[in-house]
Amino acid sequence: MRYKRVLAGVAGLGVIVAGCGAASHIRALQPSSVRSSGKIALPFVATSAKSFQAGIDIDWYHYKDQQVTADAIAARSYLLKLHANAVSISFPFFMSGARSSRVHSTVATPTPAELKTAIGVFTAAGFYVSVRPLLDETSLGHTRVSWKPVNEQAWFASYQRFLKPYALMARQAHVNEFIIGTELNAFDRSPRWDSLDRQVRKWYPGVLACADSWHKLVSKGCGVGTQTVDAYRPTPDTHFLTDWKRWDRTLPARIVQTEVGIAAAKGAWRKPSSVKLPVHKVDQQIQVEWFTAACQAAVSTHLGGIYFWSTGLGAPNLHGPSVAHQTRWTGGRGQLAISQCFASIKTR
């Protein structure tokens, strides 16, 4: 439910993902290069890729002249080093304010052909692949979670036109899962989803899913049977593992946590959805403990999987979190925690 900002969405968009296209730098992405105060003790858990998705979220804002194949290969190499077996690719769509009834793409929206190219890179390596159209909140001027269209009929008609080429692509690319709605909690029980779902199922025969925010998880959200959750539930103290297990046991059986993230800052556990807290220095140990607890709990409570938010398409920024970019974990100790947890799970 965090406020994801588009950095630019018009012609002349600058480079969003640091190091995009720098496939020659892949050797530098090894998680073992991250300094750590000690190895994180995790149990070995026997499972399989089909039964547990050890995943990473890719938040893909396309930019002009992006080298999609090279960037997808760079991202895949990085995810393999994290011992991931699943990837969820979010791609943005836009609106002209909260009262608009139309959605549209910009240069920041990957085309269906570009998405198909990137997906092929991951499926060739055996990854479980899901895709998620994600309503850009900067263009909306409002948080997705509590917003709903002024004119639902017009909005759904526009959204259906936008989705059609992506659903057809998902079929051709053998995408495992298409998440038809993400964090649209204020209207995810609208009966208009049923009509949209029927149309999309004509184009894409795979798994249709709905991603809810943690605070309003419903059954049959977006009119589909497969529910996932973006898990930014706050906790009042630092008993992270206990709190994660307690909450996970309240979730539907085998549900997948499609987003888990937190700022590397003291007190971030009280509002994990915050991207920037009023701190003067980062505390990477918060990410280490939060990620380790979330991953351990997801496995021990037999959830369907967990995805960590997020990296871009390309070689990731490996400088770790900073005061300006508190939720970044690539290149930091949070990266090591993810890698060690995924390595402890038999996923391949």
Please give the average per-residue pLDDT across 27-35, as a whole number: 35
pLDDT for the residue 51: 78
pLDDT for the residue 10: 32
Q: Taking the model in full, what pTM does it have? A: 0.87
Nearest to 108, CA basis, from 88, 132, 130, 136: 136
pLDDT for the residue 5: 41
Domains and CATH numbers, the chain: 52-259+291-317 (3.20.20.80)
The pLDDT-based confidence of 50 (bands split at 50, 70, 90) is low
- The structure tokens 């791609």 sit at 91
Please answer whether residues 120 and 170 qualify as being in contact, where contact means their C-beta atoms are separated by less than 8 angstroms.
no
Considering only 40-44, 73-77, 97-101, which range has the smallest mean pLDDT? 40-44
Please give the average per-residue pLDDT across 316-335, as a whole number: 97
pLDDT for the residue 346: 67
Question: C-alpha distances in angstroms, 208 versus 192, 201, 338?
Answer: 15, 8, 27
pLDDT tops 90 at residue 38 = no
Please answer whether residues 192 and 181 qualify as being in contact, where contact means their C-beta atoms are separated by less than 8 angstroms.
no
In whole angstroms, give the CA distance from residue 116 to residue 329. Answer: 27
pLDDT for the residue 39: 38
pLDDT for the residue 157: 98
**For 193-252, what is each residue's pLDDT tens digit?**
999 999 999 999 999 999 999 988 888 999 999 999 999 999 999 999 999 999 999 999
- The structure tokens 């194949």 sit at 69
In whole angstroms, give the CA distance from residue 248 to residue 302. Answer: 9
Please give the average per-residue pLDDT across 87-106, as a whole number: 98
In whole angstroms, give the CA distance from residue 144 to residue 141. Answer: 9
CA angle 321, 326, 327 (to 5 degrees): 90
Amino acid letter for position 223: G
Residue-wise burial string across 239-267, b where 16 or more C-beta atoms lie within 10 A, e elsewhere: ebbebbbebbeebeeebbbbbbbbbbbee
The alpha carbon of 189 is separated from its chain's Cα centroid by a whole number of angstroms, namely 22
pLDDT for the residue 216: 81
In whole angstroms, give the CA distance from residue 268 to residue 101. Answer: 35
Alpha-helix residue ranges (DSSP H) falling in 92-238? 112-123, 137-140, 152-172, 192-203
**For 268-301, what is each residue's pLDDT tens digit?**
999 999 999 999 999 999 999 999 999 999 999 9
First CA to last CA across the chain, in angstroms? 31
In whole angstroms, give the CA distance from residue 167 to residue 159. Answer: 12
pLDDT tops 90 at residue 187 = yes
Give Rg (Cα) of the chain. 19
The residue ranking higher by pLDDT, 322 or 23, is 322
Please give the average per-residue pLDDT across 4-21, as a whole number: 34
- The structure tokens 């090591």 sit at 336
The residue ranking higher by pLDDT, 218 or 127, is 127
Q: Over the chain, what is the mean pLDDT?
A: 88
Tokens (6 digits) for 348: 């391949």
pLDDT tops 50 at residue 27 = no
Question: C-alpha distances in angstroms, 258 versus 105, 139, 297?
Answer: 23, 23, 15
Tokens (6 digits) for 73: 């290969």
In whole angstroms, give the CA distance from residue 101 to residue 155. Answer: 5
Nearest to 233, CA basis, from 216, 211, 252: 216
Amino acid letter for position 276: K
